Structure 1
């Protein structure tokens, strides 16, 4: 059987979208926090920045990563036993639901306490449950941040309490929040306003209330997380959705309550001054491969968007296609992920999408033909042996017959000589 190596398009595909015209331009918002970032969730493109790569303390916005890892690795039906770490006031202090060692609480209730009430003791308990110990969980946090592309982030604890080296950036936090919000369970939790939890003790907090004030005052806001420490000052990561577009904003180290007004101004700027265009729809063929002489299209299972600013020069994105493996392929299944397409804005990668096989290709059945060959060979062998045996038998019979006739002739000749 001949094997054919898959061939992938590894070139850049330049995509342009037409600028969208609006009646007027609005200037960028005046954000008083030291770092800010506004991102379009669908396209991954940046709409507004202020000191995007300046490392700052994230406070309890850290719990976005804690919650995401807990959801990805935890079991919602598990009953978690609280550890003696709750007695360590260097690890657990500030906002709490006052967990005690030996107390048992549902995993999902710990998650509500962490993401809504911002309870530090709940975050530490989740970390110990998922990571087996807190230091290993912190390693998981940093590894996940690296996978997301948050390369200027370094976590030291799961709660966001002030510690040396516990830092992120507005840009990194936007990437982490975008990744987390695309998990539907996470999204459901962070847009919940209130949630009662079950406790075995009396006189302890049981109603978890979301501390994101924008969630209560703006119907377009649907998450995500607040934070505050004396060192970090006011921090806010928020999501808002209007007319099918979702934006995520980040503000770090804001001096006061104006952080909510600044976030709303950022959202207004993003929704009124930008528009999305689908540049490649779901099902679009991006590249192709050849398997056993058959062409197989590689398609998207979700659309690729471009975000365009009003009255701005034409926006250009690059698509770069790469294979997951360069090994020869002899078969593929429909829907199998065979490559990926990266979306780049200049030299910056803003998103990656899987490319899936549009159809199945299987190698020709070899077992049946092999069995047929073996059967034919066996038949030939048997036939040959039978034929050889028959020939041997006939040859022996022929020789015996000749010998008999020979002796009969000799007897007749002898009788004639003797006059008999």
Structure 2
């Protein structure tokens, strides 16, 4: 019989990345996205760095803003900001200050290629829009990060603090979250069709325009599990965070006949978040049948809920 383990850590728990890595202190959350039913959890409320899973927030922020503002991601261009010249981390397209690329191409590079400079470019562009809307001046990337944290608050990600749009640890400082909070963010992001479409692509051709004209790149998704049923969402790896992964697994809807003879349709989607987990892809694959087995047992027993606060992951809709 498969059991669901829910380990709730104390709110005052202090995270030590080196100690956590040495002890193999991984964390996980497996939840059915539509019902919010927590199926398997371990250290799911322990705060820790989440590396490039941060880019889920960056990506969905841009998608939400573009939809609300009526912006066409395919035609609106962003200018690569000066910040990329002094920022550490991956720059797979060799983006240079002053170069231009569409918001969609920047999103693809951020979500598929885990491009830190594309994430900064998105934050700079949309942050300027946020400042202009409020009639303010200032650092656009900082303004974007403020809105990232407002999104986290709206989603009741109570143990999450973002400090940049890409998730790198800089000068010994890292944004912190939990497996449970990142599951909330992932569920919300995958409710957005535009985000889902991008995060599930195995590869994508993008381009950037510089002083010498356009350069083309073929991006490959760092999430090697994406398929017809695994719809994304993001990988992340740093020394402090370890191997991190969030995936969304689709399953055919459950169709049942109601007492009145009509058909009831229950959508089913599994969300798996792993933090500081060696062999994250193999571990995620092993948790798919385990998660569905716990879910099926729960549904077949009448979907009972004894303690909603512990058994259900509530994901508000802030829109």
Q: Where on the TM-score scale, by shorter chain, does this alignment land: which range? A: 0.7 to 0.9
User: Which structure has the bigger radius of gyration?
Assistant: 1
1:155 is aligned to 2:166? no
Matched residue SS, 1:200 = strand
Match of 1:350 in 2: 314
Matched residue SS, 1:316 = coil
Match of 2:83 in 1: 85
Match of 1:168 in 2: 177
Match of 1:118 in 2: 114
Match of 1:247 in 2: 270
Flag the 1:314–1:96 CA change in 2: closer, same or farther, 3 A.
Answer: closer
Match of 1:69 in 2: 61
Q: Which runs of 5+ in 1 are unaligned?
A: 1-24, 276-306, 319-343, 355-420
User: Is the 1:96–1:122 Cα contact (8 Å) retained in structure 2?
Assistant: no
User: Is the 1:227–1:236 Cα contact (8 Å) retained in structure 2?
Assistant: yes
User: Is the 2:188–2:315 Cα contact (8 Å) retained in structure 1?
Assistant: no
Flag the 1:199–1:42 CA change in 2: closer, same or farther, 3 A.
Answer: same
Matched residue SS, 1:240 = strand
- Cα separation, 1, equivalents of 2:295 and 2:311: 22
- Cα separation, 1, equivalents of 2:46 and 2:223: 24
Match of 1:140 in 2: 147
- The 5 Å alignment of 1:188-207 reads 188-201=197-210, 206-207=217-218
- Indicate the structure whose relative CO is greater, using CA pairs within 8 Å and at least 6 residues apart: 2
Match of 2:256 in 1: none
- Cα separation, 1, equivalents of 2:216 and 2:180: 34
Flag the 1:233–1:108 CA change in 2: closer, same or farther, 3 A.
Answer: same
- Cα separation, 1, equivalents of 2:91 and 2:286: 29
Flag the 1:194–1:81 CA change in 2: closer, same or farther, 3 A.
Answer: same
Flag the 1:46–1:143 CA change in 2: closer, same or farther, 3 A.
Answer: same
Q: Which runs of 5+ in 2 are unaligned?
A: 6-23, 129-139, 254-267
Match of 1:417 in 2: none
User: What is the CA deviation profile of residues 343-394 of structure 1, one whole-angstrom value per residue up to 9, with x for unaligned ones?
Assistant: x45696725689xxxxxxxxxxxxxxxxxxxxxxxxxxxxxxxxxxxxxxxx
Matched residue SS, 1:199 = strand
User: What is the CA deviation profile of residues 207-259 of structure 1, one whole-angstrom value per residue up to 9, with x for unaligned ones?
Assistant: 111110111xx5421110000111111000011112232101000012x3x21
User: Is the 1:28–1:269 Cα contact (8 Å) retained in structure 2?
Assistant: no
Matched residue SS, 1:144 = helix
- Cα separation, 2, equivalents of 1:162 and 1:122: 17
Match of 1:308 in 2: 298
The root-mean-square deviation of aligned C-alpha atoms, in Å, is 2.6
- Cα separation, 1, equivalents of 2:313 and 2:203: 37
Structure 1 residue 273: deviation in Å? Answer: 2.7
- Cα separation, 1, equivalents of 2:109 and 2:313: 35
- Cα separation, 1, equivalents of 2:167 and 2:303: 41
Flag the 1:259–1:317 CA change in 2: closer, same or farther, 3 A.
Answer: same
* Number of aligned positions between the proteins: 265
- Cα separation, 1, equivalents of 2:316 and 2:107: 29
User: What is the CA deviation profile of residues 119-155 of structure 1, one whole-angstrom value per residue up to 9, with x for unaligned ones?
Assistant: 0000000000011211111100111001001010000
Matched residue SS, 1:160 = coil
- Cα separation, 1, equivalents of 2:46 and 2:102: 38
User: TM (normalized to structure 1)?
Assistant: 0.59
User: Is the 2:36–2:313 Cα contact (8 Å) retained in structure 1?
Assistant: no
